[in-house]
Amino acid sequence: MILPFLAAIAIHVPATPTLVEIWTEAKRGGFSGGVIVIDGDKTLLMDLNNVSKLKSVQLKPDSLFPICSITKAMTAQVVLDLVAGGKLSLDDPVSKHLTWIPTFAGKPTIRQLLTHTSGLANMNNAIESDPDGISKIYRATEDSLQPLKARILKVLGEKPVADPGATYDYSNTDFLLLEAIVEAVTGKPLETELRSRVFAPAGLKSTRFPSWSEAPGKFVDCYSSESGKDNVLKPFNHAVYGAGGALLGNQQDLARWMKFSLNSVTGRRWLESGSQFGGFQGFGCYTSSLKDAANPSVTHPVIERPGAINGYTLQVTFLPQQNVAVAAFSNLADQQLGSSWEGKGLVYDLLQAALSGKKKG
């Protein structure tokens, strides 16, 4: 027997919106960008919405755009693959592999580089800024990309900002050093190792580092929208980021990489690296948890990899135990994507809908 007041409560419990309903509402609200929802090896949702009429900012499934710090996640996958193969140890100091590095920069370990606890200065702060407040390193005017060693020595400065392991301090410099270490132990450029260990196994067809001559100008522009007027933003030279965030990709390849990360040994090794930490930092990623909206007493472990460069934004979130991944991205400056840790926004709503869908079978 069901008591009347219990029946009334059941009737009024709101249903979780579906993926399609959430995306439809986001488009109706003016969201500019794209979304991807993956369950195992299945694509549950993949779509784009272009709001601006500017020709150079139109996103298509195969349009190249900066995938920003997703580059860090892919680099971490390579590093962990090398560790698994016995070519590196997470506790190796930088100086073991880079003999030319200044003494202070040789003290951090590979583990500390991966988790931004090296104490080394961020390359963003190493060079004076232009009138827009952007480090001049990203407005490079040289005829060619400086060699990796020269770039590292240029941005390290003369001393660390903290002792190794003492504190978390986000630093693109950490991943330039990881790029150099990968090259030192394999004898090959990072991009070659990415292709053999990540791109090819994942089936990525377009993801690559930009050449100096095409950075910027040969991929989808980023824009701002103010008072009803859209304006293309002054570009960065993304190539200088290297392993810190230089890769170009597209929606199709991003979906393939999400599946690879959920379903391959290399991908799962990276996702599971987050469980080693009591804090929020994993190896090239962040760890958090998602409270299940349908059952608030249940929380799900989360691995997140956000990225942002000069207005381009991405948020890729994995629920490893559920084998689910959600991504949202945009080339509209200040476009809000949401996240699991914020507990709101597009990515959060899509995660909840994906969870609800799995329960329904």
Beta bridge partners of 230: 225
Q: Is the pLDDT of residue 7 over 60?
A: no
Q: Which of 124-133, 209-218, 256-265 has the lowest mean pLDDT?
A: 124-133
How far is it, in rounded angstroms, from Cα 136 to Cα 237?
A: 10
Q: Are 85 and 76 in contact (CB under 8 A)?
A: no
How far is it, in rounded angstroms, from Cα 86 to Cα 69?
A: 26
Name the average pLDDT for the chain: 88
Q: CATH 3.40.710.10: does it fit domain 4-360?
A: yes
Which of these, 254, 249, 353, 335, lies nearest to 47 by C-alpha position? 254
pTM of this structure: 0.91
What per-residue confidence (pLDDT) applies to 310? 83
Please state, for a pLDDT cut of 90, what percent of the chain lies above it: 68
Give 4-13's long-range contacts (Cβ < 8 A, gap of 24+). none
**Mean pLDDT calculated for residue range 190-209:** 97
What per-residue confidence (pLDDT) applies to 136? 59
What per-residue confidence (pLDDT) applies to 125? 65
Q: Is the pLDDT of residue 231 over 90?
A: yes
**Position of tokens 């990796």?**
148
Give 140-143's long-range contacts (Cβ < 8 A, gap of 24+). 140/237, 140/240
DSSP for residue 344: B
What per-residue confidence (pLDDT) applies to 199? 98
Which of these, 85, 45, 69, lies nearest to 265 by C-alpha position? 85
Return the H-helix or E-strand segment holding 224: strand 223-226
pLDDT digits (tens, 9 = 90+) for 124-152: 665 555 555 555 565 555 666 778 998 89
Q: Is the pLDDT of residue 62 over 80?
A: yes
- Categorize the per-residue pLDDT at 122 as very low, low, confident or very high, splitting at 50, 70 and 90: confident
pLDDT digits (tens, 9 = 90+) for 29-52: 999 999 999 999 999 999 999 999
What per-residue confidence (pLDDT) applies to 80? 96
pLDDT digits (tens, 9 = 90+) for 299-322: 999 999 999 988 899 999 999 999
SS3 state at 307 = strand
Q: Is the pLDDT of residue 245 over 80?
A: yes
